[in-house]
Structures are given as structure tokens and as C-alpha cells.
Structure 1
């Protein structure tokens, strides 16, 4: 409450004099402040045809006053009703353009008129223009930029509605785009009123996950419908003329059909739900001509209520439009009623409907497992189709002829496979703005991180669609992390290259020659003074573990320093997968404002990203959660002691979200740690009764497990001090602020030592500069108080 008052004063919502009588936000040490106040690195955004480069300098943090803007929280959304934009936008502070393939090309600065917050830069498909949005207090304008002259023009009378579809666009061609705008003629917003909230369950199973910001009344429904309504507008970027397509509706998805032959739209319809978020509401899928004529209603998807855990709705779902001249439409249908518990030879099928969109669709492919994704290829004849067996976390991908012949499986692997992962398709942009998988002489180009036991070396492969064999076209050197971005017919490769000390820069490769196209330099030299080393070891059952050993700048060999272990558990169904390293030492390490690694600047040893695998049958992996956490923690501490850097009497454990859940369980069930830090966690699993993380059983199917892994129920055993931090408006499913509030009350009521900090206006992660600085101060002060040298 004390921090809330100060934040309200900053936002101009409370007299500052009232706030000054209460403690204000605190600042961390000068060393950490220096890192927090370093500007963000610029974004480097090549144009789709790779001729131009946008250099975008953004604010590092949203302003606290921006988070405190008047907002509505409806149907799982949080938005500013005056401008129809999400809360917490990060603004563009400076925008520069230049020719891409000349490292010394002159830059053209784009003047961004004041006032307002500029955001959402998007290139036109040919790179000759771009669009931007400017948020004002009462509007969110659309502006068009000319690349050659670096000038901007506002599109008159267009106010983009980003309530449902944040930045949703459909490019008909490089000069015309369809956007979602607030209707020009609409009535006044509904007035607030008070009414009872009524819900009914009439004997039908409806295992819903816990969500925040749900609709609660008829008044909420009316407000949601009013503010989410938008009008499809066809905008000519050359003339700035607009044309309305259809009537206003609750549109949330737009897709270009073919080479601009139409637009595929999805819009919400009633009935709404008080237990589901907006993306689970009923939806109507429609096809429109470029002139605004509705060609066909394709489907009406039902309210996603009563769907089994890990299930899908029956009937058509997940709609796609071909990006090519054939302009075909596709969707997926369940063959098992959408219920994964029902035995079936095939789970899903892919359907196709061709122009003129009359009659019935026909089946293209049946899938033994659940549909995962569809990526069209640039040849206009094929797509990469993927399915997933969620019961064993396994995925398969097929090369799918879109007409007539049977597909061919290209590869399959565990979902969490790293070392033998084939990568993902390299994408390129078509003139209609659609991204497609790039092919070369009939084969598929694949790009991936190239993980191996020594780190990651990104690669570009040409994969044969006949037998899945690969030929390597490029692989990054070991000392650098160089990710392929684009491959041209003349065999020139555009990459994004970084090292441990050099931030990402664009490089153009032609054979053995490499030309640096940008020269962004390291902007956080203080972080390079930290000593970072990847340490690997094994736990008692042979599973490979690791952590990043982060030593303070003034650390001297042989010192035994107070230490923080920071981790996040991951579930695996295979010990081999759990042993694969997920860390690499050849990447530049920008550190977020709440990263506990910064505590090394205050003199602490930090064991960062300590691996905490939980291995077992995914259908019951949580049964061994506590025991495996204990095994992991014991191995981590033993290794730290072997390295001679840690005082085993002064070790803290911490984590964020599921990591907070982990840390609190370790305090409840072991005596390995002197104290803990738990940020934005969930601690009572009876409040998330229909599954959490990888757990797919309900509370009533696995009651003993739910109770066993809930540290709230073992609060009387937590005798080590615990710092709890939570965002006031945490909207992550399951981690409501109540979780921390109730745990604090349980600890206080059973004689525990705890401190609870609630951050005003913040969600699951913390964004404002005031918030991240205060979090660093809280963590540092907490470690200082509880990791002091023990008395003999």
C-alpha cells in the first residue's frame, strides 16, 4: 500500500505531499543503477526485400505513469479505453533509415512529431514505405512513412484499435493494407453500473484454468463489446484514402488471401463467458473481397467451454489462407471429438476450400497426433505440416503437397530436443506481406541454433524433401553466435552476429568474404567486469546439470562468498533430454532490469540459471517433484562448494514464477538454504485445480500430489526468512497476487520470517524503472540481512 501511494503521486493521481509521509521507491547500489540506466540497444530491422535498414531506438522501460494510465481489465485484456492501446507500451524515441548493404551509407533521421508515444513500426513488403502508430491521450493514429525522403504523413480520420488485435494488418499489396480502426460513428461508452454477478454450472464438466481480469457482469460485457469493436479499413499508402470493408465487429484476426484476392477475418460473437478469456469466446470466420463484399461465412466456432484439459473444440478451428495465387483456404478439424482421452487412429485432419468458395471443402491430410502448425512454402505447391503427441512430448513434420499426393515425413524429434533439432524453416516475405518457408531447387532451407554440449553454433541447412538428408550451407564459428536471417539466389547470406562482448550486428557474407553492415558497440562495459563461467556436473542419478557461475568484479580466488542460487524447474520425460545443455557462452548478454545476476555487482556470488530438471512420465511427472528438487539442490551446492567460491553456511535460493514455487518448496522441505526470494509465484495448488505447468491431471485426479507440492500447506516448516515480491496486477494464469498474500499471512501466523512487497501497477514481470530499481534494492538488502557472517 505504501508503494501504491507513491506511484499514484508519480502518476498525478494523488498529491505528492500525501505520498511523502510514506516510504518511497528505493534505488539499488550505484553499480546496479548504472546498468539499469543504460539505454537499450537499438533494434536493427531490415526491410523485407533486404535493401533498407531501420534503426529503432526505444525507451528501455515504460513510464510508471504510463502503467498507471486509466485502464479497463476485461476478458483477460488490459487496455487504455481512451486510446484503445495495451497498457505498458514502450515508445520509439528515435528512428533512422539507411541503405542496408553499405556499411557507411548515410542515415536519414525520421522526425517523430510531438506529443505522443510512437510505436509499432512495420515495413511495407517492398520496403519503399513503412507504417507507424502514435498514441495520444484520446487516440491511436496511423502514420505512413516514405523511405526515400524519411518523411511521415498521418492517415486522416484513422484511429487504430489495438484492444483485441494488437497491430493486426493484412497487406493486399505493397501499397495497400487492411487495418482495424475504431468506428467513426459510434455511440457513447456504456455507463458504469452495479449488478450481481451470476454464473451457472448445469452439470457439464468445464475444467477451466484460472485466469485474471475476467468479465463479471452484464455491464462488463457491454464495456468489452463497445471498446473491442473495430472497423476493417483498406488504406492506400500512396493516396492516404481509406475504404471501409463490411460492418464494425469484434475483429481479432486478419489474413491476406492469395495475392491480395481477399481478406480472411475472424471476429468474436456472443455469448461471452465469465470463466474464460476473450480468445475462448465464440468466433465467426468470414471471407471478404478487397472491395468489402462478404464472399462466404466459413465457420462459427463455439465457446471453448467444457473442453478437456489439453483438448480442442470439435469442428473447424485454426484457419489459414494460401499466400499464393491459388487463394485456397484451409482449416483443421478434430476427428476424436477434441478429447485426447478418446482412443482414435487419427486426431485431426486438414481441410481445403478453393475459389470460388462454393460447395464443401475436401480433406488434404489426416494426422495421427494433434495438429501443431502449418507453414506454406514459397513454391506455391507445398507446406510444412507439423503435429504433436502431447502425451510423450513428441513432434513430427511432413512435407505436404497441397494437391493430390501423399505427404512425406521429413523429421521427428522430442519437443525439448536440442542437440539433434533440425531447425525451423528460413522465412522470406512475399509482396503481400506473408511469410513463407524458403526453398532452393526444390529443397527446404532450415535455420537453427545448433546446440551441442559446448554451446550453440547457429546453422543454415538445405534439407532434401525427398529423404530428409541435409547439406550444410553455413555454420557459425565457435567464438561467435551468428544467426542466418536471409539467403539470396546469388548465395549471399545476411546474418546477425554477436559474441560474449559484442552486441548483435548485421553481417553480409558472400563466400569466404564477410562485410559488417552495422557497428553497434557494447553499451554495458560494467557487466564485462563480471566473471562468468558455465559449470557442468551431475546429480546423484547421473543427470547432467549446469549453472552460470557469476563472480563479482572484486572477487579473489579462494574467497568463500555469500551466494544466491537462481533457477527455474523444467519437466522432461527423458533423462538424456534433461542432460542437454541449454546455455551458450558465445552470446552477448543484455541483462534485464530484474535479473538477479546484477547482484554480483554488490559482491554476491550468483549461480545463475541453475538447471532444475524433473524427469519422469509426463502424465505423472509432478509426483516426484519435491524429491528431484532436493536432489538438484544438493548437487548444485556440492559443486559450488567444490569450486571453492561459496560459503555453504550463507546460501540463498530464489526464482520467478515457477521458480518462486520451486524456491519456496526447497525452503519448506530442506535445510539447505539460509533464506529465499520468491517473485510472482503460486504456492497453493488447490487454487489451480485443473493443471499447472506440465501437470495435466486435475486436483481430484491427483489430490496427494497437489497437496504435496503446495508449499502453502507446509508454511509452518518454513523457518528461513523469505522475501515475497508480486506485481499488484499480475494477470498470469495461476499466479494471482493472492498467492503471495496468503503465503505471507500463513508465514506470519505460524512464526515465520517474511517480507511481502507488492509493486503498484505491475503485472507478472516488472517493467517500470522505479519498479525494477526497487526490486534490485529489495533483493540486495534481503541478502545482506540474512547472509551475514554467522556468529560462532
Structure 2
């Protein structure tokens, strides 16, 4: 069947202009505006694609096959707003993310062509872009370029000139494909796009074969080392060394490439191996628990504030959170010339999750533990002059007491380090500012000695403002993103000392016909007393006296350890109504009310497992939401549809199986049979053999005979999300059909877990509004 087109008001949502991305230069002089094209046509999404070891590869250009691009660049001065389009770009350019040189004089980016990906440079002073000849980027592993600290050029990963011919597919097998496990416990999630045979292995090696090159702005190109399966090559802050990670055999048919063996080395600027740090083995046996990590070292990186010191973390419990130990992780450092023993920087009792460098006297290290939702942030002295000190120790579920994240800045080498005042006494923290009134972002000055915060800025209604960067600490000049319900995000300079505000960008509303959509953050209670929230949207011009409307309730359940945290208000009533095609909001243009994101908390306090009462809590939350919109008089109780994407689709099927609250359902890209995800799913850590009753109770496939309301299902034929194989929707459809349920299954060609092609999005909205018009409006 050909693709369908929805009504024009819905199609306009897909064809609306997209807001440019922005990137601030290191000197805070320019914003780089990166213009987004419309959604790609199906012929672009349908390009040939290889699926190897968890990667999706475009064989024509040796890059990732499902990446977004920009189609134009503009340089805009921050001080006066003057802007100028970058010149010299090729027609129809598919442009990658811009990367500023440390001194801000240039930025680099990729340009994807039909048969390759080129490296381009733009000189800011002239606004003219040019290619670096002789460079064919290998973008298999993402961004393959890093600036040298002196801004003279870049270290890039390129396609090897001598990788040979592409392995040919043989129609005659050499023998059987054999996998074997000898008494080793090695559970794994249901990964997709894995290697399957020797030809896959050879093809994977062919496309991943990489040559590291130093590309100078003067056009010089210097090859470093030998071609190999190099997935990372990062210069040290002084530019004299490279941290190189190289994948190697044996590969696996059970796990993606990020679990393959990796050799970690330090090279000099000529490509010679100075020191082999580690050769990490294949990681097939990592436990499925959320605090599990591979045994051995991980998390390699340069310390950003010194010349050449590499750091990493090593698990002390074998990577297994079930092992009872006092120390879970240790952080180590090794400085040039890398011939001494590593120095222990810190020992952690929970699992390491991140670090931010500042100076020899200041760095932040964070650890967390999934089971308790606890997160702790330490202030340390990397040079060992003072003892570590706890700054924050809290539950990450508790948004009301989140102190915020530290602002970072770029140092002279272009590395991100902590933004501090001149004497390193204070950090600057940016947070969501969650509160019973909704999110009100803030900027605080945090005194490291007293551990007290001073509020410098707090978003005030009716706007939603969030700091982006501190441009001048002394003068307290901040770049802000600012929006309101009817105004899209624009960027402003705010003088915190005088509260002066100066507009930098002027992006306009992309959908004027939906500008007057009514938005309200609503708060209500579940029958067990848990507070719930959701965002209610009503069509432009709607009045209560017009009577109740058909309503779409679109949700996504989440797990919590605390009922108090689950009841905290989410989001802000003052954010711009951003009508994405993948959200339910386009349906407002067809006269539907929408309750978006009604909270569906699944709570398991203390030692309780949340999913043990999944169905009971889910249905209670749904009933509370329905009761609230009916009480308000905006929804007809006989014309409420429930829907969701991914885990929200799973939720939708369960609500239709266990309640009679809804007239119909819409489920996109879901999983419905948990026996097909036996080693855990979503936030469930237990296997099906540990909790068989839970898996059965939560699987709507097992309750297909209870579903009576019509259900529309959609799924991308190329869904690569772990657990949501397209087979899930196909088999659930067959089960429903076998029990006489009114149902429809739409498989979208070439689409993954999220849909991208313009034609697919048009079809999706046509399906949704047609289904609703028939089963909710009754037309």
C-alpha cells in the first residue's frame, strides 16, 4: 500500500521548520547556528545498511547509517547579534556537528557525500569554509576528530588506504556456526544487530579498519602508527601523546562491539607505542544488574587540567554488585613519561559514575548505587594535598533537593574543566529547580569551604529560563535560554548584577496555527495517596462550556524507591509547547484534548521490588488520571484513548488488558511478551527464572484474551532497541486477532525504534488520527 497523508493541520507539524542547534565558541564571541533540514525522505532512510556487532553502518560512506545532519551554518556575534552565513559549503551539504578550535579561530566539521565523509574547516575571521584534501573520515565510532591544543590542526580517524577488498559473501558455507559455553555463567540482555558468522566478522573488520592521521590547517597530513580497529584516539592536553583504544579478536556473537576485547595504549606524536596500559578481555560475563560493570579497568581519559596524565577506574568487586565488599571502585592516575606505578587517586564504596577536573587542588568525583538510588559527590585534591570531602549525598530520585550540576568552561587546551571564581573557592551550579510549582531552573554560587549556596538567578514565571554558560564571572554575565508557553527558546545575555537582559537570537514560532494551545500542569492523587502530575493540553479556542472532548492519554511508566519522590512535580508549566510529530500533541489540531506524561510511578520501597505490584499500581495511576480529566469536565469518559511508545506501548496493552477505562489504544514500538526478554527489562534486574510470576503477570501477551478495546499497533521493521524486536508486535497482533480483538498492525519499512522518514511520520499521524476518529470520536 502507498503511504498515506494526514490532514493538512497535522502534516504541517512534520513540515514545520526546525529550530537551529547552537554552539558557543571558547572566547564567547560567536554562536554557531547549525540549521536543521526537514525530516529525510524515505529514500534516504532506505539507503543500504549493514548491521554488525551492534553498529549500523552506511557501506557507501563508512559512517553510521542513522545520524542527523545540518544543511547550513551561520556565525552570529553574541555582543551585537550580527550574523553571517558560512560561505563555501557545497550544495546539498550534509553537515556534522561543529567543533571549535581551542583558540576559537576555526571550527571543524564533517560533510557527508554519496561515497565518503570529508573533513572541513571554517576560518571564523572570514566565514569561509574549505575541505582538508586527502582525508576520508571513518565515522563508524562517532565523531572521529579532536583538535590539537595549539589549534594548529586535528587528530582524526580515517579510512585506511590499504585495508584491501571488501570480503565477498560466499553462498557455500565453510561449516557450521558454533557457539560454546563451558560452565560459565554469562547472562545477557536481548541485544540486536550482532555478528552471526565469519563473514560478518571479516566485514566488521573491513569497515572498522582505521588510520590515525594528524591533519594540519596548512594542509599537511601525517599518518600515525599502523592501521587497526582503532575506536578512540585522543590527544593529551599538551598534545604530545595519544590515548588509543584498539579493538581486536576474539569477537562475540552474544554481545555488541563495546564488549569486545580492547587494547589501551599511549602513543607519542609519531605514533610509537610509549606504554600499553591494559589489554582488556572480551566481556561476555557481566552480570545483568544495573550496578554491574566489566571486571577490570574502565573509563580511561586524560586529566583535563594537566599536561599528560591518564586516569581510569578499576572495579574491586569483579564488577559484580552482589559481592559484599567495602570498596567497589578505585580511581588511578599515571602521568608522563608513564614508566612509574599508577597512583591511587580515590577509593569508592559505591559505583563510580563520573568526574570533573578543575586543578591540582580541585576535582569532583561522583559515585552511585542503583538499589538505593543513592548518589554521592566528592571534592578531591587530585595532587593529594587534602583529604576527600563529601559535597552532596542524596537520592537522585529526590529532584526537590537536587543541588544542581557544576558549570564547566574550556581551558586553553580546549578541555572542559570546572568553572570557578578566581581563587577556586566557589563553583557555579545549574539545576532544574524542581518544586511543587514545577521546574524553575537556577544558578547558584557554591562556596566549597562553607558548603553553602548563594542564588544568583532563579527562573521566574511566566518564563522558563536556564543558564547555558557563564561568559564573565567577574561581571556576572550569563548566556541564558529563555522560553514561554507561546515563545520558543531563544538565547539572551543576562547581567546578574543589574538584571539587564539582551536578546541574542530571534527564533520564531514554527506552528502559528497551534500558538494558542492551552497548557496546564495538573496535580491529583492516586487512591493510595501518591501525588501524580500530568500536562493537560486543550485545542486552541476551546472553552469549558463547549463540553467534554475526546482525549488521548500518552504516558510512560517509571520505577521509584520512594513514594515521596514519585509524587514530586515534574516539568514546568511555563515551557514552550513544542509540538513534535512523535508526541501526541499534533492531535490537538484535530480537536482532541491531550494529557501528556501523566505520571505512572511503580514504587518499591525498601526491599520491595516495584514490579511485584506493577499491574495494581499502573491501573490505579490510570484510574486517577481518568477521574481527574473527567472531573474537570474536559474529557468524555467514554472517549478516552490511551497510548504510548516503547515502554509506554507495553503500558498501553496492559491497561487495555486489566481495565475498561479506555475506548481504544495506540501502541508504538512496544514489547508485549516478557518471556522474550528473560534476563531483565527496563528497571527489572531479576531474570525470568528468579521472578516467573512477575514476568507472566506483566506480559500483556499472556492476557490477550482479556483485551476488548480496539488497539492500533505500529513498529519499525528495523527496530534495534534491546527488547523491542519487531517480532514482539507481530506475535501480539496474532494473539489479539486469534481472540477476535479489533486490532491493526502497521510495520514501517526501514524505521528503527524512533521513526525518521517524512513518509513514515505522515503515515503514523494518519494512522493515529484515523483510528481515533473511528474509535474515540465515533466518526
Structure 1 length normalisation: TM-score?
0.94
Q: Secondary structure at the match of 2:401?
A: coil
Superposition deviation, residue 168 in structure 1: 4.7
Residue of 439, 442, 447 corresponding to 2:420: 439
> Could you say which residue in structure 1 is the equivalent of 2:180?
200
Alignment of 1:60 onto 2:38: yes
* 2:485 corresponding residue in structure 1: 500
Give the alignment of 1:509-524 within 5 angstroms: 509-510=494-495, 511-512=497-498, 513-524=500-511
Quick one: distance in 2 between partners of 1:505 and 1:750? 52
Deviation at 1:554, TM superposition (A): 4.6
The match for 2:104 is 127
| Cross-structure match for 1:673 | 662
Give the Å deviation of 1:128: 1.0
Does 1:530 pair with 2:510? no
**1:120 positional shift:** 2.5
Where in structure 2 are the equivalents of 1:559-574 lying within 5 Å? 559-574=547-562
Residue of 383, 394, 415 corresponding to 2:396: 415
Does 87-96 or 651-660 show the bigger shift? 87-96
* Residue matched to 1:342: 323
CA distance in 2, matches of 1:429, 1:355: 22
**Cα pair 1:423 1:447 within 8 Å, conserved:** yes
| Mapped contact 2:225–2:270 kept (Cα < 8 A) | no
SS of 1:376's partner is strand
- Establish whether residue 465 from structure 1 lines up as the match of residue 453 from structure 2: no
The secondary structure found in structure 1 opposite 2:414 is coil
> Which of the numbers 442, 460, 473 marks the counterpart of 1:489?
473
Q: In 1, Cα distance between the equivalents of 2:608 and 2:685?
A: 7
Aligned to 2:459: 476
Say whether residues 1:93 and 2:82 are aligned partners.
Answer: no
Paired residue for 2:297?
Answer: 316
| Change in CA separation of 1:366 and 1:789 when aligned onto 2, cut-off 3 Å | same
Residues 503 and 522 in structure 1, CA contact (< 8 A), matched pair in contact too = yes
Deviation of 1:197 after TM superposition, in Å, equals: 2.9
Query: Is 1:397–2:377 an aligned residue pair?
Result: yes
User: Residue 63 and residue 436 in structure 1: after superposition, are their counterparts in 2 closer, same or farther (change >3 A)?
Assistant: farther
Give the distance between the partners of 2:678 and 2:491, measured in 1 at CA.
48
Shift of 1:326: 4.2
Cα distance between partner residues in 2 of 1:248 and 1:619: 52
CA distance in 2, matches of 1:654, 1:622: 20
CA contact (8 A) 1:251 1:267 kept: yes
- Contact kept in structure 1, 2:707 and 2:741, CA below 8 Å: yes
Task: Give, in whole Å, the separation in 2 of the partners of 1:481 and 1:314.
Answer: 44
Q: Match of 2:273?
A: 294
Deviation at 1:372, TM superposition (A): 0.8
Match for 1:211 among 161, 177, 191? 191
Aligned to 1:181: 158
Distance in 1 (alpha carbons) for counterparts of 2:185 and 2:367: 27
Aligned to 2:408: 427
**Aligned: 1:151 with 2:132:** no
Q: Aligned in 2, Cα 1:355/1:91: closer, same or farther, shift over 3 Å?
A: closer
1:451 counterpart SS class = coil
| Aligned pair partner of 1:751 in 740, 757, 778 | 740
Work out whether 1:452 is the aligned partner of 2:419.
Answer: no
Is contact 2:50-2:57 (8 Å) kept? yes
- 2:338 counterpart residue number: 357
Aligned 8 A contact 2:261 2:281 in 1: yes
Q: Give distance in 2, aligned partners of 1:202 and 1:100.
A: 63
Distance 1:300 1:589, change over 3 A: farther
CA–CA separation in structure 2 for the residues paired with 1:416 and 1:59: 37
User: 1:60 touches 1:90 (CA, 8 Å); kept in 2?
Assistant: no
Q: Which residue of 2 aligns with 1:20?
A: none
Partner of 1:381: 361
SS at match of 1:756: strand
The normalised TM-score by structure 2 is 0.96
Counterpart CA distance in 2 for 1:703 and 1:274 is: 27
User: Could you tell me which residue of structure 1 aligns to residue 719 of structure 2?
Assistant: 730
2-side partners of 1:527 and 1:262: how far apart? 54
Deviation at 1:534, TM superposition (A): 1.3
- Hey, what's the Cα distance between the residues in 2 that align with 1:431 and 1:141? 27
Residue 269 of structure 1: CA displacement?
1.1
Q: Structure 2: how far apart are the matches of 1:396 and 1:759?
A: 44
**1:706 CA drift (Å):** 0.7
The CA deviation at 1:306 is 1.2
Alpha-carbon distance in structure 2 between the residues aligned to 1:476 and 1:249: 50
Structure 1: distance between partners of 2:149 and 2:541: 59
Aligned residue in 2 for 1:656 = 645
In the TM superposition, residue 125 of structure 1 has moved relative to its aligned partner by 2.0
**Relative to 1, partners in 2 of residues 1:314 and 1:720: Cα closer, same or farther, differing over 3 Å?**
same
User: Deviation at 1:221?
Assistant: 0.4
Q: Distance in 2 between matches of 1:175 and 1:447?
A: 33
Shift of 1:121: 2.1
Say whether the 8 Å CA contact 2:509–2:515 is kept in structure 1. no
Match of 1:83?
A: 61
| C-alpha contact 2:360 2:383 (8 A) present in aligned 1 | no
* Aligned residues of 1:619 and 1:697 also touching (Cα < 8 A): no
- The residue aligned with 2:583 is 595
Contact 2:487-2:508 at 8 Å conserved across structures: yes
Query: What residue is the counterpart of 1:769 in the other structure?
Result: 758
> SS in structure 2 opposite 1:625?
helix
- Residue matched to 2:236: 257
- Give the aligned CA root-mean-square deviation in angstroms: 1.6
Q: CA deviation at 1:99?
A: 2.1
Deviation (angstroms), 1:663 = 0.7
Confirm or deny that 1:166 pairs with 2:143: yes
Contact 2:305/2:417, CA 8 A, preserved across alignment: no
Report how far residue 530 of structure 1 moved.
1.7
Match status 1:579 vs 2:579: no
Contact 1:410 1:467 survives alignment (8 Å): no
Distance in 1 of aligned mates of 2:241 and 2:458? 40
1:260-281 residue CA offsets vs partner (Å, 9 max, x unmatched)? 2322121211111101001111
**CA–CA separation in structure 2 for the residues paired with 1:407 and 1:85:** 43
Per-residue Cα deviation, 1:356-411 (whole angstroms, up to 9, x for no partner): 1113212111111011111112x343211000111111100000111223210000
SS in 1 for 2:737: helix
Deviation at 1:538, TM superposition (A): 0.7
* 1:546 aligned counterpart, secondary structure: strand
* Alignment partners' CA distance in 2, 1:481 and 1:553: 22
CA distance in 1, matches of 2:296, 2:353: 16
In 2: Cα distance, 1:110 partner to 1:776 partner? 38
Question: After the TM superposition, which of the residue ranges 442-451 and 679-688 deviates more from structure 2?
Answer: 442-451
Cross-structure match for 1:610: 598
1:611-626, aligned counterparts within 5 Å?
Answer: 611-617=599-605, 620-626=609-615
- Unpaired runs of 5+ residues, structure 2, are none
Q: Give 1:229's aligned residue.
A: 209
Contact 2:679/2:685 (8 A) holds in 1: yes
* SS of 1:456 mapped into structure 2: coil
- Secondary structure at the aligned position of 2:399 is classed as coil
In the TM superposition, structure 1's runs of 4+ consecutive aligned residues that sit over 4 Å from their partners are: none
The one of 303, 310, 318 aligned to 2:282: 303
2:702 to 709, 713, 718: 713
Look up the SS of the partner of 2:515 in the other structure: helix
